[in-house]
Amino acid sequence: MWRASIWHPEAIPVIEGQISRDLKRVVLPLFDVALIVMGVAALAGGMPSFDLVHNHLISAVAGWALLVGGTSALFGVVFPRLWVAEAAGKLVVLLILGAYAGALWALVGEGSAGRALTAGAFSGLLALPLWNLVRLGRERRARRTRKGRKWSG
């Protein structure tokens, strides 16, 4: 399992550099752990803005989706061969965080100006999973190109 993990010394090609290693080994796993904690918190305490804009059932489903999406993304980050799980998890996370940000902005539009900071924060949270999906796509295309050229690295 160690050899298959992102923390194995040969998991990230030297050409990618230190910044890429730090992102893949520290930032992305920590972000996914934070998403899992958010999912657990949503299940334990609800998602008040979803409750106000939608209903409690939607809020509960969103909490489960956040928990499952974060867990799937974490497995994909930790074990790069599971990149499909990472991509699927990030898509779910984007959907839930985006919907939550949208619910918050809807409440701001209805006069709850005190939620604008939280709406902005949730909107900002969308950047990392979106960037990660773009990164995964680039890595997959590069890997296919190398295989097509009989590159063995």
For residue range 1-17, what is the model confidence (pLDDT) as tens digits?
888 899 988 888 777 88
pLDDT score recorded for residue 152: 47
pLDDT score recorded for residue 143: 78
Residue position matching structure tokens 């960037």: 131
Element holding 77 (H helix, E strand): helix 56-78
pLDDT score recorded for residue 151: 46
Q: How confident is the model at residue 93 (pLDDT cuts 50, 70, 90)?
A: very high
Three-state secondary structure call for residue 108: helix
Question: Distances in Å between the alpha carbon of 38 and those of 45, 50, 101?
Answer: 10, 14, 14
Q: What is the DSSP letter of 15?
A: G
- Taking residues 32-58, report their average pLDDT: 92
Rounded distance between C-alpha atoms, residue 49 and residue 51, angstroms:
5
Decide if pLDDT at 129 tops 50. Answer: yes
Decide if pLDDT at 104 tops 90. Answer: yes
Residue 50 tokens, joined: 């979803």
Question: Which pTM does this prediction carry?
Answer: 0.86
Rounded distance between C-alpha atoms, residue 106 and residue 87, angstroms:
28
Decide if pLDDT at 65 tops 90. Answer: yes
Question: Distances in Å between the alpha carbon of 32 and those of 36, 37, 105?
Answer: 6, 9, 24
Which of the pair, 13 or 43, is modelled with greater confidence? 43
For residue range 29-41, what is the model confidence (pLDDT) as tens digits?
999 999 999 999 9
